[in-house]
Amino acid sequence: MNAAEHRLEPLLRSLEVRSNLDEADRQALRDLPFKVRTLDASTYILREGDLPESCAILISGFAYRQKLTGDGARQIIALHITGDPLDFQHLFLDVADHSIQMLTHGAVAMIPRKDIQHLVHTRPAIASAVVSNILVDSSISREWVLNVGRRDARARLAHLLCEFGSRMGALGLGGPDSCELPITQEQLADATGLTSVHVNRTLKALEAAGLIARSKRMISFPDWTRLREVGDFSARYLHLQIQESG
Amino acid sequence: MNAAEHRLEPLLRSLEVRSNLDEADRQALRDLPFKVRTLDASTYILREGDLPESCAILISGFAYRQKLTGDGARQIIALHITGDPLDFQHLFLDVADHSIQMLTHGAVAMIPRKDIQHLVHTRPAIASAVVSNILVDSSISREWVLNVGRRDARARLAHLLCEFGSRMGALGLGGPDSCELPITQEQLADATGLTSVHVNRTLKALEAAGLIARSKRMISFPDWTRLREVGDFSARYLHLQIQESG
DNA sequence: CGTACGTTTGATCTTTCTCAATAATGGTGG
DNA sequence: CCACCATTATTGAGAAAGATCAAACGTACG
C-alpha cells in the first residue's frame, strides 16, 4: 500500500466494484471527516443493542458479524474484508440487531452518521452505491441461509471458501488461486453452523481431494473449478459487475 | 376489508409499522400507477435471473422467497404477508438472485420501477421507508441464518412461529393469540432446513407440550410466553417501533 | 521453556434423515 | 350429496451425518 494513500481509498475501491462514481463523488467521499481506530483481533466494533452515532468502515484487516442464541451458541452471520462498510444500516435504523467484531488486527474509519447522510441526500450516485452495498449484504445473507439450511458440511465449507476467494479476488486482494484466510476452524464452524471438530475433518477431506491447500493463514485453490462444483457455487448473488470465473 | 379501500392501502399499513409518513407521502403512494394481478398458490412472481421492470407489492395473501441448490434442494429464505413489498431490491439491482412464489392465492400490485424511483428521489420520508423495509428484511435474513445454523429443530420451529405471529400481530392481522398460517409442513421444513417428517414430529411435540394448537390453516398460541422461551425469540430484530409482548 | 491457543484424532452418542407405508383432508365432477 | 383423486399429514424402523467428549499434538509468543 502506498504510504501516502488516503485512508478511505479501500472504501472507494469496494464501492466501485459495483457502482459507478464520478470524480466529484470520489472526492466528496475523500472529504468526509473521520477518525481512525486501530483495533486488535476480537475487539468489538459494535454490540447488539448499541445506538451508533457514527458509521464504521473497515480500512484494513478482517471483521465479522455475529449473533448469539440464548444459551450462548454463536453464529457468524457475515465476513468482512478491507474496504467493506460495516454500518450503513445505522444510517436508517437505530438499534443494532447484531454485533460486529474484528477477526484480525486492523483499522476502522469512523464517519459521523450525519455526514454520510448528507452525501446520500445530495449525491444520487453515492446514495445508489450505499443502497447497493446494503442490498448485496442482504443477498449474501440469503445465500447463507441456503448454505446452512440445505448443504452438507463438505459443500457448505467449499461454498464459504469460494465466496471468500471471489470477494477477495474482486477487490484485487490475493492472486487468482490463493488468498489470505486468517480464520480459526472454530470461527469457520460458527460461520457454517457446524462443530470445529467436524470442520477440521471436512477441511482435511477437501485438502486430501486436492481442492484446497492450507498453510498458516493462507489458503490456495489448486482446483478452483472443482471446488466451485463441490460447493455448488455461482457468484451471481454477489452482484459483481464483471462476472469472473468465480 | 372495506370494499372501497384503495388497493395499495396494505402497503401503507406495512410501511407505517416502522416509518412515519405524512398525508402528502401517503397520497403520493396512492397516486402511483399500478396493475393488479390475481395469482394462484405457487405461481411465480419473480424468478432467479429475471430483470424485473416493475415492483411487486403483495396486497393480499401470502408469498415466500426461495433458492435452490444445484441438486434441487429448496430453501425458503423469507415469508411475506399482506402489505409486504416484494421487490424494492430491484430499484437498485438488476438481476434477481432468488425466486418469489405465492404461498396462497392472493394478489399483487405491479408498480413500474421508474415511478417508485421517482418518489424515492423526491420524497425523503418515502426513501427512508423503502430503505428501512430493505434493512429489516436483511435483519430477518440474518436471524434466519442464526436460527437454521444454531438452534435445534424444536427451537427453530418455535422461533419461526413466533416471528410469524409477531409480524401478523404488528399488522393487525390475527388476534393476540392466534393467526392464519396457510403453510404445509413441507414448506415449513424448507423454511427451517429440516425434513417434513421431522417437522411433523416436532410440531406434534410442541402441541403435546401445550405451546401451540393447530387446526386447518390456523395456528394458535395457548402459551405465548413459553413458546417464546422455547424458540429463544426476541422481537428486536424485527425493528417494530412499538415493542410488543412478542 | 512454559503457557495459551489452535489443530488433529479417536470413540461414542444423538439428532435428524431416509425410506416406506398408511391415514386424513380438500377439492372435483357427477 | 357421494365417489374419487391428489395433496398433505402421520407413523414406524433403520441409517447416517454430525455432535460430543476427551486427549494428544503443534506452534507462536512472552
pLDDT tens digits along B96-106: 999 999 999 99
- Chain segment A65-84, per-residue pLDDT in tens: 999 999 999 999 999 999 99
CB within 8 Å: B124 and A124: no
Q: For chain A, list residues with pLDDT below 50.
A: 1, 245-246
CB within 8 Å: A239 and B95: yes
Predicted confidence (pLDDT) at residue B242 exceeds the cutoff of 80: no
Predicted confidence (pLDDT) at residue B20 exceeds the cutoff of 80: yes
CB within 8 Å: B193 and A150: yes
Whole-number pLDDT of residue A246: 47
Predicted confidence (pLDDT) at residue B23 exceeds the cutoff of 50: yes
Whole-number pLDDT of residue B3: 55
Amino acid at B172: G
Instruction: Pull the grid cell for residue B157.
Output: 420451529
Strand B178-180 with B99-102, pairing: unpaired
Predicted confidence (pLDDT) at residue B183 exceeds the cutoff of 60: yes
Residue B154 DSSP SS3: helix
The alpha carbon dihedral of B29, B34, B36, B39 has a sign of negative
Please report residues of B whose CB lies closer than 8 A to that of A148.
145, 148-149, 193
| Model pTM score | 0.95
Of all residues in chain B, the percent with pLDDT exceeding 70 is 96
A194 touches strand D (CB under 7 A): yes
Residue B4 — very low, low, confident or very high, per pLDDT cuts 50/70/90? low
Instruction: Pull the grid cell for residue A66.
Output: 455475529
CA–CA separation, B222 and B22 (whole Å): 38
**In the 64-123 stretch of chain B, whose C-beta falls under 7 Å of nucleic acid strand C?**
none
- Chain segment A90-129, per-residue pLDDT in tens: 999 999 999 999 999 999 999 999 999 999 999 999 999 9
Minimum distance, in Å, between the CA of residue B160 and any CA atom of chain A: 14
CA–CA separation, A164 and A186 (whole Å): 17
Mean predicted confidence (pLDDT) in B45-73: 96
A204 touches strand C (CB under 7 A): yes
CA–CA separation, B215 and A28 (whole Å): 59
Q: Work out the mean pLDDT of chain B and round it to a whole number.
A: 94
Whole-number pLDDT of residue A245: 47
Predicted confidence (pLDDT) at residue B1 exceeds the cutoff of 70: no
CB within 8 Å: B97 and A236: yes
Q: Rounded to whole angstroms, what are the CA distances from A123 to A29, A84, A109, A127, B121? A: 10, 20, 21, 6, 11
- Chain segment B40-54, per-residue pLDDT in tens: 999 999 999 999 999
Please report residues of A whose CB lies closer than 8 A to that of B232.
69-71
Helices (H), chain B: 9-16, 23-30, 113-122, 124-150, 153-170, 185-192, 196-208, 224-231
Q: Of all nucleotides in the shown strands, which has a C1' nearest the CA of A151? A: D17
